[in-house]
C-alpha cells in the first residue's frame, strides 16, 4: 500500500446514526429514529453531527452540521435538541434528514456481533459451500431488518437479509462473508 493509499484509508468514515422525525414541543426538540446500537455515545451532549438528505447530499438552505445540546427518552421515543435550533419552526425544517457521525475507520462497535456499514461494503460473498457469489455493494437499512445488496459475478444485484441464519460467517479481517443459500435467495427460482 502506497503512502497515498494509507492516507486515504485513514480518512474518517461517515456513519448514519439516525434519521430525524417530527418536531416535539416548542423548544426545538426533534424525535430521532436511531440507526445505532450506541445512542448514548452517538448523541451525547456536545457531539457534532453532519446532516444529509435521504439521497446523501448536504441539505440546501440549512446548516450542514449540528451540535447535540440534549438527548432524552420520552415514552418510547428518543428526543434530541440541537444548539441553534430553538423553536418548533426550526425543528420542523430538519424533518427527514439523516444524522451522520464521522468515525475513525479503525473504530469497531462494542458488540463483536455488530458491524458498521463500511466494514461490510466490499467484502467477498461466498456460499457456505464455498462458491464465490460476488461482493457486498451496499447495506440497506429497512424498517424491519438490514439487507446486504450483493453484486453478483454475473452483474445482478441480490438482496440478502442480514440475519445470522442466512449470514452465519462474517470475517472482516479475511475480507469475506458466507451466505447460507435458500431457494430463490441468490438465484431466481425456476418457473415450473
Contact 32, 43 (CB under 8 A): yes
- pLDDT (tens digit, 9 = 90+) per residue, 97-124? 999 998 887 777 777 788 888 889 999 9
Query: What fold characterizes domain 117-179?
Result: SH3 type barrels. (2.30.30)
Q: In angstroms, how far is the first alpha carbon of the chain from the final one? A: 51
- CATH topology assigned to domain 13-103: Elongation Factor Tu (Ef-tu); domain 3 (2.40.30)
Q: Which part of the chain has CATH 2.40.30.60? A: 13-103
Tell me the pTM. 0.67
Instruction: Give every strand in the sheet of 132-141, ordered side by side.
Output: 157-161, 146-152, 132-141, 124-127, 176-179, 169-171
pLDDT at 83: 96
Summarised one tens digit per residue, pLDDT across range 29-86 is: 999 999 887 888 899 999 999 999 877 788 887 788 999 999 999 998 999 999 999 9
Range list of H helices, 63-152: 88-92, 117-120
- Which is more confident, 126 or 10? 126
pLDDT at 143: 63
**For 171-184, how does the pLDDT look when each residue is reduced to its tens digit (9 = 90+)?**
999 999 999 999 88
Which ranges in the chain are annotated with CATH 2.30.30.240? Answer: 117-179
Amino acid at each position: 500500500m502506497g503512502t497515498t493509499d494509507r492516507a486515504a484509508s485513514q480518512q474518517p468514515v461517515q456513519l448514519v446514526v439516525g434519521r430525524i422525525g417530527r418536531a416535539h414541543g416548542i423548544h426545538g426538540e426533534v424525535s430521532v429514529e436511531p440507526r445505532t446500537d450506541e445512542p448514548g455515545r452517538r448523541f451525547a451532549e456536545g457531539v457534532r453531527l453532519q446532516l444529509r438528505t435521504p439521497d446523501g447530499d448536504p441539505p440546501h438552505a440549512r446548516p450542514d452540521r449540528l451540535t447535540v445540546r440534549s438527548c432524552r427518552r420520552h415514552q418510547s421515543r428518543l428526543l434530541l435538541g440541537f444548539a441553534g435550533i430553538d423553536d418548533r419552526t426550526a425543528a420542523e425544517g430538519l424533518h427527514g434528514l439523516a444524522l451522520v457521525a464521522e468515525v475513525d475507520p479503525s473504530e469497531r462497535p462494542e458488540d463483536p456481533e455488530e458491524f458498521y456499514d463500511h466494514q461490510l461494503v466490499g467484502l467477498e460473498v461466498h456460499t457456505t459451500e464455498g462458491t464465490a457469489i460476488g461482493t457486498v455493494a451496499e447495506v440497506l437499512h429497512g424498517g424491519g431488518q438490514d439487507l446486504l445488496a450483493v453484486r453478483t459475478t454475473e452483474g445482478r444485484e441480490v438482496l440478502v437479509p442480514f440475519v445470522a441464519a442466512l449470514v452465519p460467517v462474517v470475517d472482516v479481517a479475511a475480507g469475506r462473508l458466507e451466505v447460507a443459500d435458500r431457494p430463490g435467495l441468490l438465484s431466481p427460482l425456476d418457473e415450473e
